[in-house]
Structure 1
Amino acid sequence: MKKFEELKFNIGPLKGISAKNVEEHLKLYTGYVKNANSVLEKIPEYEGYTSQDVFAPYVVNELHRRFSFEYNGMRNHEIYFESLSGGAYSLDEKSKLREAIMAEWGSFDLWLNRFKSIATTRGIGWAMLYFDKKENRLLNAWVDEQHLGQLQNCAPIIALDMWEHAFVADYQPSGKKQYIEDFFENLNWEVIEKNFTEAQ
């Protein structure tokens, strides 16, 4: 069976986010890759038990449910870590992404403030900037956990991890807003621009 491969990231020193926290966070990403592969391997195994075990079909169904959590956890983290790789780069004033943001929200700062506000949503999840391919527009969204609220047929452009493991070790729970600010200070907008270009 084809397996998902763990990606490697070129993450240097970050403002506010310690190398130790990045190291521990990457271990969680490794777990999502491993678990996504493991779930897919287990589904055929338990399907083989359905004639002997009345509970096996329920296990198979739960594995399918679990797969969406593990798979999206893997992909969300890949977008997140890639955006912090290669050093911080600002968004070019004449970039296509900036133009698209301004067309949707009127100003870059208005979009940024709204995105940061979404990131303070109570609970565990992700603040996401998506590109809606059908409507050719950008959308902000909150995703619960790893998978609840993902926008169908929309490509993620920015993924900001708001699970506590992403920031509590460095910022404490009360430092959530500073973590959000530092995320954008560390962001490689060249990667984000690339995500946008590939999404169109």
Structure 2
Amino acid sequence: MAFQLPELPYAKDALAPHISAETLEFHWGKHHRAYVNKTNEFVGAKPDLQGASLVEVVRAAKQGGENKLFNNSAQLWNHSFFWQCLSPEGQQPSGRLANLISDAFGGTEQLLQKLGDEAVNHFSNGWAWLVLDRDQLEITSLHDADTPLVHDGMVPLFTLDVWEHAYYIDYRNERPRFVTSVLSNIVNWDFVAQNLDGNGADRADQEGETARQPETTT
């Protein structure tokens, strides 16, 4: 099966008023879908990637300097991960995650302030990330389609999309208001904590399409 647009883990209106159903209609239904379609188109022209998983495609494209394939496949993965980072139900970090946050930042409020600053001050398009490097939490941002999948020492825990299409319908050019609204209300901390196992990359992965074998007759 070719790569698919993954279903949202909630109804399209579930994140309102922080992210509207209209935004998700465009962001998920059109932008994300376009990355799926383009990735399938590029992979279809590369026999050596038949059967490769999405994560394998992203890494192979980066290593091989295939910029168009990388940009689309990485955005397919980034968005698939991003939707899971959000939840309509308010939560708070607990357990090991809360302890790591306290050790690295002094508390959740301080973490959110630093993550928000990273997201707001990131120039142009990209993503703000909370990652795990060994047993240390770190905050960073990556430009355009770049992704932790291709960087050593970046185990993905949480991301926030700061491309303008992520917020323009609801917030126009007010990225700071979008960042504050999302980080204060709809972070899926359970998903963030789950990713401490180091398997966050797999949670947005997909199996690739394997070429059909010709039928044999007897």
Task: Please report the TM-score for the alignment, with normalisation by the length of structure 2.
Answer: 0.73
Is the contact made by 2:118 and 2:128 (CA closer than 8 Å) also made in structure 1? yes
Is the contact made by 1:80 and 1:159 (CA closer than 8 Å) also made in structure 2? yes
Is the contact made by 2:101 and 2:137 (CA closer than 8 Å) also made in structure 1? yes
Q: Whole-Å Cα distance in 1 between the matches of residues 156 and 18 of structure 2? A: 25
- Listed as ranges, the matches of 1:26-175 within 5 Å are 26=28, 27-44=30-47, 64-85=66-87, 87-92=88-93, 94-120=94-120, 121-132=122-133, 135-147=134-146, 151-173=151-173, 175=174
Which moved further from structure 2: 15-24 or 155-164?
Answer: 15-24
After superposition, what is the alpha-carbon deviation per residue over 1:152-194, rounded to whole angstroms, capped at 9, x for unaligned? 2422111100000000111111x21110011121222222222
SS class of match (1:39): helix
Is the contact made by 1:131 and 1:157 (CA closer than 8 Å) also made in structure 2? yes
Q: Whole-Å Cα distance in 2 between the matches of residues 69 and 104 of structure 1? A: 31
- Match of 1:180? 179
Larger relative contact order (Cα-Cα within 8 Å, sequence gap ≥ 6): 2
Please report the RMSD computed on the Cα atoms of aligned residues, expressed in angstroms.
2.3
Is the contact made by 1:7 and 1:78 (CA closer than 8 Å) also made in structure 2? yes
SS class of match (1:89): coil
Q: Whole-Å Cα distance in 1 between the matches of residues 109 and 197 of structure 2? A: 21
Q: Which amino acid is the alignment partner of residue 14 of structure 1?
A: A
- Match of 2:6? 7
Deviation at 1:44, TM superposition (A): 4.3
Q: Which amino acid is the alignment partner of residue 109 of structure 2?
A: D
Is the contact made by 2:39 and 2:69 (CA closer than 8 Å) also made in structure 1? yes
Deviation at 1:84, TM superposition (A): 2.2
Give the % identical residues: 21
Is the contact made by 2:15 and 2:186 (CA closer than 8 Å) also made in structure 1? no
Deviation at 1:75, TM superposition (A): 1.2
Is the contact made by 1:88 and 1:189 (CA closer than 8 Å) also made in structure 2? no
- Structure 1: give runs of 5+ residues left out of the alignment: 46-60
Decide whether aligned partners of structure 1 residues 138 and 13 sit closer, same or farther in structure 2, where only a CA change above 3 A counts: closer
Q: Which amino acid is the alignment partner of residue 71 of structure 1?
A: S
Q: Whole-Å Cα distance in 1 between the matches of residues 19 and 92 of structure 2? A: 21
Q: Which amino acid is the alignment partner of residue 42 of structure 1?
A: A
Is the contact made by 1:129 and 1:140 (CA closer than 8 Å) also made in structure 2? yes
Q: Whole-Å Cα distance in 2 between the matches of residues 4 and 194 of structure 1? A: 24
Is the contact made by 2:157 and 2:196 (CA closer than 8 Å) also made in structure 1? yes
Task: Please report the TM-score for the alignment, with normalisation by the length of structure 1.
Answer: 0.79
Deviation at 1:88, TM superposition (A): 2.2
Q: Which amino acid is the alignment partner of residue 139 of structure 1?
A: E
Decide whether aligned partners of structure 1 residues 148 and 91 sit closer, same or farther in structure 2, where only a CA change above 3 A counts: closer
SS class of match (1:130): strand
- Match of 1:17? 19
Q: Whole-Å Cα distance in 2 between the matches of residues 16 and 104 of structure 1? A: 28
Q: Which amino acid is the alignment partner of residue 5 of structure 1?
A: Q
